[in-house]
Structures are given as C-alpha cells and as structure tokens.
C-alpha cells in the first residue's frame, strides 16, 4: 500500500521539476512587475494589474486554451519560438511549466508587491545621496528589505504550481513521463478501476510537499525578519 511505484515517482519528480522551473523563471519577472506596480505610475497600470490577476479569476480551462492558441505549435507565438529558437511548449513538460508559471504568477507577485510597497522610500533616498544609482539602490536596499515578501511569493507560487491542474491538462494534456504531474496522475488514477490506492499515495505526497513548502516559507520569513530588524 505504501510502496510508491516507478510511474508515481515519475509524476512526483516531474511535478517538482515543473513547479521549480516555473517558480525560478517567474520570480525575476514577478519582481520586476511587482516593482513597477509598487513604485511607478504609468498609463495602463490598472490594465496590467488586471491582466496579471486574470488567471486567478478565469476558469483554468480558459487560460489553458488561450495558452494553446498562443503557444501551441501553430500558435501566434509558439510557431515563431519553435522556428527561431527551437523552443516548443505544446505537449512538453516545458509547456506544463509555462502553464504553472502563468497560473501561479498572481500569487507570486502579490506578496512581493506588498513588501516592496512597505520598504521605506526614505531609505532609498538616503542610498541615492550616498551615490547609489537607481539600479544599485534597488539591489542593495529595496530588494534585500523586500526579501521576506519575495520568499513568501516564491513559496506561494510554488505551492500553486505543484497543484495546478486545469490549465496544464488543457494546454499540454496528460502524457505520462512528459506532462503528467501529480494532479493529472491523480485525475487519471481515480478514473481507472483499482486506481484508488495509488491515487491516495499521491494525495499524501502532495500534502507533504505543500506542508513542507509552507513550513519552509515560515522559517525563511522569520529569519529574514530577524535580519531586517537588526538582531
């Protein structure tokens, strides 16, 4: 009953890989967007804000279908990427990572944005009077002080990416070893006769992963807060 089969291992490792890559690629972008939303006023800012939050409120199947239309082999962007850069998303694990990244992006951006907004701009001013150019101010003052939020966003994004199902299965289907993550494996197993024990094992694994992520984020946040408050 508690023996995890090789197929299940494949799904678990694939999920971890997809969610890690999605989080790592989305984080720098998420920080940039969070900074823009927190610190800059520009035309169309609320539209950008709404666009980022769209995956949170749209049916995941719609997001997945839109991804398919855009990044599919014959999609607007997908075709160009495949022809010019050799990057293919459709029915590959990379597509699963893209879907997870898009779906978890709003959850990633929000804590980062809040923590950047909470950084005292007076400290940034002080840094500039000490000769720090804007980019250096960001790297040496804003980002380190916003670090707890960045870590919280990463963990939240990762947890969401691990659990993502609807957009992923719509965009890249459910191919064992390529796009079958824990969620889609569970979905396949519970619609198979005698699949319940395996499904349960995967359920337990996903609970363990989610709990570990939350505990890790708490731990990081506590350490970071200690650092910031000068202890």
- In 3D space, the residue among 82, 104, 101 whose CA is nearest the CA of residue 25 turns out to be 101
Site for other proteins in 62-121 (CB under 8 A): 120
Q: Residues 138-177: x/- map of binding to other proteins (CB under 8 A)?
A: --xx--xx--------------------------------
- In contact, 89 and 81? CB cutoff 8 Å: yes
Three-state DSSP class for 73?
Answer: coil
CB closer to other proteins, 128 vs 192:
128
| 40 sits near other proteins (criterion: CB under 8 A) | no
CB closer to other proteins, 2 vs 135:
135
Q: Residues 185-224: x/- map of binding to other proteins (CB under 8 A)?
A: ----------------------------------------
| 132 sits near other proteins (criterion: CB under 8 A) | yes
Q: Min. distance of Cβ 33 from other proteins in angstroms?
A: 23
CA 112, CA 170: separation in Å to the nearest integer? 29
Question: Directed axis angle between helix 6-39 and helix 143-163, to 10°?
Answer: 140
Cα–Cα distances in Å, from 153 out to 26, 27, 142, 196, 216? 10, 8, 16, 33, 12
CB closer to other proteins, 125 vs 192:
125
- In 3D space, the residue among 176, 185, 167, 193 whose CA is nearest the CA of residue 95 turns out to be 167
Question: What is the binding site for other proteins (CB under 8 A)?
Answer: 120, 122-123, 125-134, 136-137, 140-141, 144-145, 227-231
């Amino acid at each position: 009953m508690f023996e995890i089969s090789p197929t299940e291992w494949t799904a678990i490792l694939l999920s971890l890989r997809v969610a890690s890559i999605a989080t790592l690629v989305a984080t720098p972008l998420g920080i940039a967007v969070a900074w823009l939303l927190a610190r800059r006023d520009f035309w169309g800012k609320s539209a950008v804000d709404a666009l980022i939050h769209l995956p949170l409120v749209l049916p995941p199947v719609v997001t997945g279908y839109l991804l398919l239309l855009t990044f599919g082999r014959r999609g607007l962007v997908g075709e160009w990427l495949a022809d010019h850069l050799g990057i293919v998303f459709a029915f590959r694990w990379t597509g699963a990572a893209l879907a997870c990244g898009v779906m978890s992006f709003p959850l990633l951006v929000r804590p980062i944005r809040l923590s950047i907004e909470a950084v005292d701009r007076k400290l940034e001013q002080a840094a500039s009077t000490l000769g720090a150019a804007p980019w250096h101010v960001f790297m040496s003052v804003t980002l380190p002080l916003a670090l707890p939020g960045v870590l919280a966003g990463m963990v939240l994004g990762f947890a969401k990416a691990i659990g993502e199902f609807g957009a992923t299965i719509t965009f890249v289907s459910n191919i064992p070893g390529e796009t079958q993550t824990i969620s889609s494996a569970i979905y396949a197993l519970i619609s198979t006769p005698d699949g319940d024990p395996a499904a349960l094992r995967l359920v337990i694994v996903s609970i363990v992963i989610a709990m570990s992520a939350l505990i890790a984020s708490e731990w990081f946040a506590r350490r970071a807060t200690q650092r910031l408050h000068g202890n």
